[in-house]
């Protein structure tokens, strides 16, 4: 029987299911190993000493979350922090995050760069050895973050490989020459499923509920008839003002039509999520800031889950939303280019500012993994409490408030810190502090740095 092998660094919240093909989820095994208890000694040595105080606090907080019984959001945040810290202090040819991977030297859009990275030991060697031991395997390649593992496997394999998956299909022409002779593209009929939810991800089969982006035309049509079996509708929006929004594909939708579509989707049982795509062609920084304010303030039953880079797709475009587009040349080495290039990439400063505007009203996903889109949120109401991924840890005789989401630490008063450090994750502050002056000061401090959940009720009570 052929095994469907999912190489690292695929989305660890997804698991493809194929008829008559058992799945070997090496992508999950890699994350569990790299962020598990065995990673602690290496990180503790790397962050030891006064220079590493902030990183030591981040590591201590992340492991405390993972050692407990965290909710989904806190678990993904903590896992992301551990992977990032490990990557920062290892000699791997790649940098890791939970939802991303970058070559230290080059790009995953270049097969030459990927081959060069494959010559150095990387983070996935135990999983690759396991993949090589499978006598009959099909490698599932869903995204470019798996390419370092694929190229490392190809470099040490003298037998033909069989590939399946959306990325392998889109880029087979470029991938084929890099693989051993006789390698094939096959169709296992696999469907990517969000683990624990029984929802297919960006795959619309005839029977299962699905989560996927809606195209601009689909969004307009949804005002009349919502797509069948839609569990989660993701709206990629690249531009908005007081009269309209512009879908990432360039479709312009008026607010009246948008409201009708969103209301119809929600009435049909779908959850509506919005991604703000940054870097659409010719969009200015002023327009990005205005769009963030419009999306954050919109009185619609949706959740803005955060930002992501704009991708136009591999086909060159000459206009977008009625604007002329000046295409930039694709580097000659980018034989795996996944998007045409144009002017419009925002600076990191703008990204941070826009993200803060959205987060003031909406809860961003803790990582761009499918499970984070489907996991239930901690209710926004209720008594004041530490937000997911926020906790207090003692480090070198001090108490530090650690925000794993923003990778920030703050030294706080030991009188409050010692009590807060004993709180379980996301527990109400009342479990550590009695009503009165101390509670008011703590709520004020946590609110000022965005580390509090239930803050609206806390302010109302005050």
Specify if 379 maps to a domain: no
In this structure, are 310 and 396 located in the same domain? no
In this structure, are 237 and 305 located in the same domain? yes
Residuewise pLDDT in 10s, the chain (462 residues):
799 999 999 999 999 999 989 999 999 999 999 999 888 888 888 877 666 788 888 998 999 999 988 888 889 999 999 999 999 889 999 999 999 999 999 999 999 999 999 999 999 999 999 999 988 899 999 999 999 999 999 999 989 999 999 999 999 999 999 999 999 999 999 999 999 899 999 999 889 999 999 999 999 999 999 999 999 999 999 999 999 999 999 999 999 999 999 999 999 999 999 999 998 888 899 999 999 999 999 999 999 999 998 887 665 677 888 887 777 767 767 888 777 666 666 777 888 899 989 988 888 898 899 999 998 766 656 788 888 888 889 888 888 889 998 888 988 888 888 888 888 767 788 888 888 887 888 888 788 887 787 654 334 333
Q: What is d(CA 352, CA 306) in angstroms, rounded to the nearest whole number? A: 11
Q: What is d(CA 17, CA 4) in angstroms, rounded to the nearest whole number? A: 8
Specify if 190 maps to a domain: no
In this structure, are 141 and 235 located in the same domain? no
Specify if 191 maps to a domain: no
DSSP-assigned states of every residue in 301-358: S-EEEEEEE----SS--SEETTEE--EEPPPTT-TT--S-EES-PPPHHHHHHHHHHH
In this structure, are 303 and 329 located in the same domain? yes
pTM of the model: 0.90
In this structure, are 398 and 352 located in the same domain? no
Token representation of residue 267: 């009435």
In this structure, are 264 and 366 located in the same domain? yes
Q: In the prediction, which pLDDT does 313 show?
A: 66
Q: What is d(CA 16, CA 5) in angstroms, rounded to the nearest whole number? A: 9
In this structure, are 276 and 420 located in the same domain? no
Last residue of a domain, one of 374, 393, 418: 374
Q: What is d(CA 230, CA 196) in angstroms, rounded to the nearest whole number? A: 17
Specify if 298 maps to a domain: yes
CA atoms within 13 A on the CB side of 398: 14
In this structure, are 282 and 157 located in the same domain? no
Q: Are 151 and 128 in contact (CB under 8 A)?
A: no
**Residues 6 or more apart whose Cβ sits within 8 Å of residue 291:** 237, 238, 239, 240, 241, 276, 354
Q: What is d(CA 215, CA 172) in angstroms, rounded to the nearest whole number? A: 25
Strand partners, 401: 392, 410
Give backbone dihedrals phi and psi of 267, rounded to 5 degrees, phi first.
-65, -30
Specify if 426 maps to a domain: yes
In this structure, are 348 and 437 located in the same domain? no
Last residue of a domain, one of 138, 157, 185: 185
Last residue of a domain, one of 374, 401, 420: 374
In this structure, are 445 and 305 located in the same domain? no
In this structure, are 399 and 454 located in the same domain? yes
DSSP-assigned states of every residue in 196-242: TTTEEES---SSS-EEEEPPHHHHHHTTTSPPTTEEEEEEEEEEE-S
- Number of independent structural domains in the chain: 3
Specify if 139 maps to a domain: yes
Specify if 270 maps to a domain: yes
Q: In the prediction, which pLDDT does 234 show?
A: 98
Q: What is d(CA 416, CA 425) in angstroms, rounded to the nearest whole number? A: 16
Specify if 365 maps to a domain: yes
Distances (CA, A) of 412 to 64, 398, 417, 450: 19, 8, 6, 15
Exposed (0-12), middle (13-18) or buried (19+): which is 221, by Cβ within 10 Å?
A: middle
Rg (CA), the chain: 23
Question: What is the span of the domain harbouring residue 434?
Answer: 385-461
DSSP-assigned states of every residue in 20-45: TB-EEEHHHHHHHHHTSGGGHHHHHH
In this structure, are 391 and 429 located in the same domain? yes
């Amino acid at each position: 029987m052929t095994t469907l092998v999912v190489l690292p660094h695929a989305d660890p919240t997804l698991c493809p299911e194929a008829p008559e093909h058992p799945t070997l989820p090496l992508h999950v095994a890699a994350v569990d190993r790299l962020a598990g208890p065995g990673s602690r000694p290496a990180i503790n040595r790397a962050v030891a000493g006064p220079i590493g105080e902030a990183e030591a606090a981040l590591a201590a907080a992340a492991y405390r979350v993972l050692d407990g019984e965290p909710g989904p959001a806190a678990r993904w945040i903590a896992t992301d922090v551990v992977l990032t810290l490990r990557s920062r202090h290892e000699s791997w040819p790649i940098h890791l995050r939970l939802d991303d991977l970058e070559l230290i030297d080059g790009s995953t859009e270049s097969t030459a760069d990927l081959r060069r990275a494959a010559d150095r030991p990387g983070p996935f060697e135990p999983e690759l050895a396991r993949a090589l031991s499978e006598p009959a395997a099909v490698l599932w390649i869903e995204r470019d973050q798996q390419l370092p593992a694929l190229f490392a496997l190809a470099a040490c394999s003298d037998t033909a490989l069989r590939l399946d998956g959306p990325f392998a299909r889109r880029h087979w022409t470029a991938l084929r020459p890099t693989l051993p002779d006789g390698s094939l593209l096959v169709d296992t009929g696999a469907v990517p499923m969000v683990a624990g939810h029984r929802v297919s991800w960006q795959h619309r089969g005839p029977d299962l509920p699905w989560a996927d982006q809606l195209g601009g035309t689909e969004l307009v049509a949804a005002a009349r008839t919502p797509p069948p079996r839609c569990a989660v509708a993701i709206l990629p929006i690249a531009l908005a003002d007081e009269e309209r929004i512009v879908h990432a594909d360039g479709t312009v939708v008026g607010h009246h039509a948008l409201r009708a579509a969103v209301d119809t989707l929600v009435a049909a049982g779908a959850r509506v999520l919005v991604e703000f795509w940054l870097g659409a062609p010719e969009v200015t920084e002023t327009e990005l800031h205005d769009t963030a304010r419009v999306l954050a303030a919109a009185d619609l039953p949706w959740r803005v889950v955060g930002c992501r880079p704009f991708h136009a797709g591999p086909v060159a475009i000459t206009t977008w939303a009625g604007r002329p587009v000046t295409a930039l040349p694709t580097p000659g080495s980018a034989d795996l280019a996944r998007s045409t290039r144009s002017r419009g990439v925002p600076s990191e400063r703008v990204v941070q500012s826009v993200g803060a505007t959205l987060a003031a009203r909406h809860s961003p996903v803790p990582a761009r993994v499918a499970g984070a889109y489907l996991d239930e949120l901690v209710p926004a109401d209720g008594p004041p409490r530490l937000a997911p991924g926020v906790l207090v840890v003692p480090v070198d005789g001090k108490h530090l408030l650690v925000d794993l989401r923003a990778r920030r630490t703050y030294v706080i008063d030991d009188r409050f810190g010692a009590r807060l450090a004993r709180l379980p994750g996301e527990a109400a502050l009342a479990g550590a502090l009695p009503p009165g002056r101390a509670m008011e000061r703590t709520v004020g401090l946590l609110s000022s740095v965005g580390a509090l959940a239930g803050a609206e009720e806390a302010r109302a009570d005050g």
